[in-house]
Amino acid sequence: MSPAPSSSGFPSVRMRRLRTHPKLRDMVRETHLSPDDFILPLFVRHGEGERIPIKSMPGHAQLTVEQLVEEAKEVEELGIPSVILFGIPEHKDAVGSDAYSEQGIIQRAVRALKAAGSNLLVMTDVCFCEFTDHGHCGIISDKHGRVDVDNDATLEILVKEAVSHAQAGADVIAPSGMMDGMIAALRGGLDAAGFSHIPILSYAAKYCSGFYGPFREAAESAPQFGDRRTYQMDPANGAEALREVALDLAEGADMLMVKPALSYLDIIRRVKDAHPEVPLAAYNVSGEFAMVKAAAANGWIDEQRIALEILTSIKRAGADMILTYFAKDAARWLRQS
C-alpha cells in the first residue's frame, strides 16, 4: 500500500526525518566502526638503526625488533587489539630458511613482544615470498618443462614455519600462500607439535591483484620472474572464492580472509552470507592505502573522510575484522568524532 499523501500532496513518510539531527543519525546508524575492528600490519627487519620509511606507504616503515616493541605500545594505547607481522630477513635463499629458523626475524619479533609484556593479539603471516631469493611463495621446481611453485614440497616447509611461530609465542597463524591442502597440513602440524589451541586465520580468498605493489616494496618480496597467477585467484572469479573458502573450512580453518578488500566487497558479502557463523577478516591492502594517501597529498580528496568511508564499507559488506594500514590514523580519528 502506498503511503497516504500529506496535505501538500507528497507522501507523509519521509526518510529525511531521520537525518535531521547528528545525534539521531548516530542512533540509527547501521554499521559502527571501532578501533576494535582493526589489525595493523607491521614490517620487522634484522639489524639496528633508523626506521626505514616505505616510500609508497607514507607513515609506515621497516622496523627493527626494538622499534617494533615501542610501536606495539602506541598501538595498544590507541585501542587497536591486534597486529600481524611480516618479516624482512637478513639473508634470503631458495627455500626461505629464515622463515622457519629459531632465530628468524619473525620468531625474534614475537618473542620480544611477549617478553615486553605486550597485550596485543600477535598474528604472524605464514608464507615464503619475503624470505626466498626468487620472491615466490614456496619451493620452485621444474616439472614437465614448466617452472612453478611445488605445492606439496612447499606444504612441508609451511608447517615448519607455522610451528616455529607458535613456539615463539604467536597467538594466531595466518597462512597466505594459497597452496592446495595448506590448512589441513598446518592444522595437522600444529596439533602434532602440541599447538592444537592455536587458531588459523586463512587467507582463503586471496586474489592475484595489482593492489599489492607497495607491499612488495615494504616486504622486499616482488617475484624475480613470472607472477603468482598459478596459485593466487583470478580477479574475474567469484564462485571460485566460495569453493576455496569451503575447502579451507573443511580442512580446519578457524577464521577466513578476503584479500584485497575494496575491489572485492561483493566477495566479502558472498562469503559472509555463505558462512555467517565464521569470523571474517578483510585486508585493506597497500595499494588501496597508497591511492588514498597520494590523492590526499595532492589535495584532491579529504583523507580522513575517504579512509573512514572505505573502512566502513568493508565492515558493512560483512567483515568482522579489517587488516588496514590506516589502523592508527583511523583509531585517532574515531576518538575525535
Q: Which pTM does this prediction carry?
A: 0.91
- What's the confidence (pLDDT) of residue 179? 85
- What's the confidence (pLDDT) of residue 56? 94
How many other C-beta atoms can be found within 10 angstroms of the C-beta atom of residue 152?
A: 13
- C-beta of residue 262 within 8 angstroms of C-beta of residue 310: yes
Supply 165's cell numbers. 611461530
Q: Please give the positions annotated as active site.
A: 206, 259
- What's the confidence (pLDDT) of residue 283? 97
The CA R_g of the chain, rounded to the nearest whole Å, is 22
Q: In the CATH hierarchy, which top-level class contains the domain 30-336?
A: alpha beta
CA 42 to chain CA mean position, Å: 10
Supply 141's cell numbers. 621446481
Q: Which phi-psi region, left, alpha or beta, contains residue 279 (left: φ > 0; alpha: ψ -120 to 50)?
A: beta
Distance between CA atoms of residues 163 and 193, nearest Å: 7
Residue 175 backbone dihedrals phi, psi, to 5 degrees = -75, 135
So where are the chain's domains? 30-336
- What's the confidence (pLDDT) of residue 141? 74
For residue 4, give the amino acid letter.
A
3-state secondary structure of 152: helix
Place of cell 545525534: 23
Q: Quote the mean pLDDT of the chain.
A: 90
Q: Which residues of the chain have pLDDT under 50?
A: none
- What's the confidence (pLDDT) of residue 223? 60
Supply 311's cell numbers. 573502512
- C-beta of residue 110 within 8 angstroms of C-beta of residue 66: no
Supply 251's cell numbers. 580442512
- What's the confidence (pLDDT) of residue 117? 96
- What's the confidence (pLDDT) of residue 196? 98
